[in-house]
Amino acid sequence: MTIKPAIELRGISKSFGPVEANKDITIRVMPGTIHGIIGENGAGKSTLMSILYGFYRADSGEIFVDGKKISIPDSQAAIGVGIGMVFQHFKLVENFTVLENIVLGAESGALLSPSLNKARAELAALASEYELNVDPDSIIEDIGVGMQQRIEILKALYRKANILILDEPTGVLTPAEADQLFRILKRLREEGKTIILITHKLREIMDITDTVSVMRQGEMTATLETNETSPENLAELMVGRKVLLRVDKTPAKPKNPVLEIEDLNMFDDFGVQRLKNVNLSVRAGEILGIAGVAGNGQSELLEVLGGYQKADGTVKVKGSEIDLTTSVNGDGQARRAQGIAHVPEDRQREGLIMDFMAWENSVFGYHREKSNQANRFFMDNNAIRRETEGKMHRFDVRPPNPKLTAKNFSGGNQQKIVLAREIERDPDLLLVGQPTRGVDIGAIEFIHQQIVALRDRGKAILLISVELDEILSLSDKIAVMFDGKIMGERLPSETNEKELGLLMAGVAEQVAQ
């Protein structure tokens, strides 16, 4: 008799408006295994798990648990069939005790104390069974992040979960805490639990999973036995192999350094170090591409350089140091005045105001500059509209209507509006994040040409992209980031995807040796 999969999803699809977050996903997870789901941010991992946990309903497809077809309309139903979820952001009540948090939502009656007593006994049993020791009476806000996560796991186990989904569990953990978590997960597997681990970190997949599924842009691109694959293979599957877009460009003629970064360190609001001793330099007439799996500090680097994150270290632009200690969020305008233009990674969240018209967006960040003012008090809206029309024609924005609201343009045209704004300012340094994410092929080519043209005018460009192809075809020099560090710099002519993939996975040492 064959063993039935603990979970089987067949043909799951889910769209949000025009965005297909999950396309015809089929996956089988065998009981008593750890199954990894890997993919970049936005690949559709979390959507898939939200469907499994009853937060979203799939547009089509079937779900089987232990071979039985079921429907999961809400999370109560998911818990009912033994699915437990540990979220990336914990769902704990900070000022409750451990015990109260575990009981929350699973109280057995109107009075609290019988539930608590029952839970205390069960918690002791669980603790000894899975070696998950916690003090049931400590208050959540007094205990560490790793311990809080353990409580999330206990919460699921207390609800009789046989299948445990962990969404980016190590995102908030220190390496030591992560190791501890993995020991717990292995122990749970020994006890016959099924675990689904969602992550974008290759090493975790290699360390702990039995099987791994790779997601990319809403599709399940592969499901593999972990011991039959390698980090570089996974990196390739994750980043994907699109039709390689050749960019016509002449060899770079780099001149003086424009951007010099020395010992840049940055901690986020939670005290996690996001940039670790970053040293980089970009010269005039050169494109420096930063490769890396999303979430390894590239976004933070852009935010620091763009003027809206504090950091320590020295950053010089054309020899003059820029102020990294800004205490108020928002020195973006000072940065622009220093000749730094910035095409942010997320055009819809940062680069554009989706409810503003194209012409209003076309001066966003430069709206206080003299050229956009009619006089001391008012903006010169007519001139801005005229100017925008010209920009839209030059950058082939369709339709070239300055009065159309940003959200009514397609992704590619939105990106062109941002690019037109930043490039036409003729900056000394252009920061570009994910220039072609969610952009159609035609627009990609155009955007690449514009970036190369700016380089040929002798400007420095810092390119950040998770598309390895894009990095390889556009960059004159490539730096690879992993875990907030620069793993190494390579010339595109002297490296290949395999080497970069390994660097992106953080395994520099083996390459070097």
Partner 1 sequence: MDVMPKWVDIIVVPLFSLFLAAALSALLILAIGESPIAALNLMIEGTLFRSAGWGYMLYYTTNFIFTGLAVSVAFHAALFNIGGEGQAMIGGLGVALVCLFIPWPHWTLAIVGASIGAALFGMIWAGLPAYLQAKRGSHIVITTIMFNFIAAGVLNFFLVDVLKPAGSMDPASANFPASTHLPTFQDIAGIIGFEKAFRSAPANVSFFIALFACLATWYLIWRTPLGYEIRALGKSGPAARYAGVRPVKIIMIAMMISGALCGMMAINTTQGESERLILNFTEGAGFIGIAVALMGRSHPVGVLLAALLFGFLYQGGAELALWTKIPRELIVVIQALVILFTGALSLMVRAPLERFFISIQRARV
Residues within the interface to partner 1 (CB under 8 A): 306-308, 328-336, 342, 344, 346, 349-356, 360, 364-365, 367-368, 372-373, 377-379, 381, 408
State the burial class of residue 17 (Cβ atoms within 10 Å of its Cβ: 0-12, 13-18, 19+): exposed
Q: Closest approach of Cβ 405 to partner 1, in Å?
A: 9
Find residue 464's DSSP bridge partners.
290, 433
Residue 216 CA, distance from chain mean position: 13
CA distances from 433 to 121, 133, 286, 363, 463 (A): 52, 44, 16, 19, 6
Sheet of 273-283, strands arranged across: 273-283, 257-267, 312-317, 320-321
Q: Closest approach of Cβ 164 to partner 1, in Å?
A: 33
User: ω before 169 within 30° of 0 (cis)?
Assistant: no
Q: Is 74 helix (H, G, I), strand (E, B) or coil?
A: coil
Query: Which is closer to partner 1, CB of 273 or CB of 348?
Result: 348
Taking the C-alpha atoms of residue 167 and residue 165, their distance in angstroms, rounded to an integer, is 6
Q: Closest approach of Cβ 211 to partner 1, in Å?
A: 37
CA distances from 173 to 135, 150, 169, 506 (A): 20, 12, 8, 17
Query: Which is closer to partner 1, CB of 158 or CB of 308?
Result: 308
The token duo for 507 is 């395994």
The residue type at 12: I
Query: Which is closer to partner 1, CB of 75 or CB of 372?
Result: 372
Query: Which is closer to partner 1, CB of 384 or CB of 479?
Result: 384
Query: Which is closer to partner 1, CB of 111 or CB of 328?
Result: 328
Query: Which is closer to partner 1, CB of 129 or CB of 355?
Result: 355
Query: Which is closer to partner 1, CB of 350 or CB of 389?
Result: 350
Three-state SS string across 7-38, please? EEEEEEEEEECCEEEEEEEEEEECCCCEEEEE
Taking the C-alpha atoms of residue 273 and residue 469, their distance in angstroms, rounded to an integer, is 28
Query: Which is closer to partner 1, CB of 101 or CB of 388?
Result: 388
Question: Residue 115 is inside which H or E element, if any?
Answer: helix 112-130
Residue 451 near residue 435 (C-beta atoms within 8 A): yes
Question: Residue 118 is inside which H or E element, if any?
Answer: helix 112-130
Residue 318 near residue 353 (C-beta atoms within 8 A): no
Reported in sequence order, the residue ranges of 396-444 that DSSP labels E, i.e. its strands, are 429-433
Q: Closest approach of Cβ 140 to partner 1, in Å?
A: 21
Q: Closest approach of Cβ 360 to partner 1, in Å?
A: 7
Query: Which is closer to partner 1, CB of 181 or CB of 432?
Result: 432
Q: Closest approach of Cβ 340 to partner 1, in Å?
A: 11
Q: Closest approach of Cβ 504 to partner 1, in Å?
A: 26
Q: Closest approach of Cβ 414 to partner 1, in Å?
A: 12
Reported in sequence order, the residue ranges of 4-121 that DSSP labels E, i.e. its strands, are 7-16, 19-29, 34-38, 60-65, 68-70, 83-86
Query: Which is closer to partner 1, CB of 37 or CB of 352?
Result: 352
HSE toward the beta carbon, residue 248, CA cutoff 13 A: 5
Q: Closest approach of Cβ 387 to partner 1, in Å?
A: 15
Q: Closest approach of Cβ 323 to partner 1, in Å?
A: 13
